[in-house]
Amino acid sequence: MYGGPPAGTISPVTSPYAQSGYRVGFDWGPAGAAAVPGALVAVVDVLSFTTSVTVAADRGITVLPYRWRDSTAIQYAEQHAAALAVGRSEAGADGISLSPASIRQARNVERLVLPSPNGSTISQQLADSGSTVLAVSLRNAAAAAEWATAKGRQIVVIAAGERWADGSLRPAVEDLWGAGAFITALQERGVGPVSPEARAAAAAWREVRAELPGLLRECAGGRELIQYGFPQDVAVAAEVGSSASVPVLRAGAFVVD
């Protein structure tokens, strides 16, 4: 029979899923973002939303996350005097899409509405939560960890994942690695305690980091983009530590703090 936690462990909380008592927590998707509250939340969507946000930030482009690419997104972009990213297949050689490579080559764009069913949706969900929201990818994990460490606040890391055809969550290993890279960088700066879930993500990153970018090309998400003709997006996502930008969601837009 269960007799309570061992001496010295975290006390029971109202929700066992909240990872209460830890400075750093980790979970998946919109439901995880709702279940594990944090003063500071790092959203990780390596292929490709948060990678695209860091590329935009490096170029001085403000990104407005939006859930859906539909008629309401067109109106939203018009209301905010912003360009609207289109689907990868619609963008052509010069258009802007969720593809980080397309954002890197964009010209005369200062504000960009970037719809995405995963990272963008979670970011918008968190916009009114009172949490400070960061966009984190493999490109800026170290810089974001440095920024977050200085804030001295509770940190939750949300791996966006993907969706199966039935709408259920597909945990995307590249997001696990991106979350783990950020958590590892926090640990290296002495940030803790780290929840068991967050420790598992960090362990996953340490297992593979010496084998990137190869493993990013070989994982399901990487293979999918390469199969659809976007190998350059996988290459950009694999630029580990290349960005010093830390995009922070303020008033509905990711800006460099």
Locus of tokens 């460099």: 256
What pLDDT shows up at residue 92? 74
Closest CA to 238 of 206, 204, 211, 203: 211
- Paired tokens of 197: 């879930």
Q: What fold is seen in the domain 24-243?
A: putative 2-phosphosulfolactate phosphatase (3.90.1560)
Domain residue spans of the chain: 24-243
Q: What angle do CA 28, 87, 223 make, to 5 degrees?
A: 60
Please list the helix, strand and coil fractions of the chain in percent, rounded to the nearest 5, in that order.
40, 20, 40
Whether residue 9 is predicted with pLDDT greater than 50 in this model: the reply is: no
37 within 8 A of 228, measured Cβ to Cβ: no
247 within 8 A of 144, measured Cβ to Cβ: no
pLDDT band at 229 (very low <50, low <70, confident <90, very high): very high
- pTM metric for this prediction: 0.93
Query: Which residues, other chains included, contact 134 with Cβ-Cβ below 8 Å and sequence gap of 6+?
Result: 40, 41, 42, 43, 144, 147, 148, 246, 247, 248, 249
Other Cβ atoms within 10 Å of 218 Cβ, number? 12
DSSP state string for 19-36? -TT-SEEEEEHHHHHHHS
Give the mean pLDDT of 32-38: 95
133 within 8 A of 126, measured Cβ to Cβ: yes
36 within 8 A of 25, measured Cβ to Cβ: yes
Query: Which residues, other chains included, contact 52 with Cβ-Cβ below 8 Å and sequence gap of 6+?
Result: 63, 98, 99, 100, 103, 114
Q: Which of 66-75, 82-91, 214-223 has the highest mean pLDDT?
A: 214-223
Q: Which helix (H) or strand (E) holds 73?
A: helix 71-79
pLDDT digits (tens, 9 = 90+) for 143-190: 999 999 999 999 999 999 999 999 999 999 999 999 999 999 999 999
Residue 60 to residues 103, 106, 112, 152, 196: CA-CA distances in angstroms? 11, 11, 11, 27, 37
CA atoms within 13 A on the CB side of 162: 14
* Mean pLDDT for the chain overall: 93
Lowest-confidence segment of 21-35, 44-58, 115-129, 238-252 by average pLDDT: 115-129
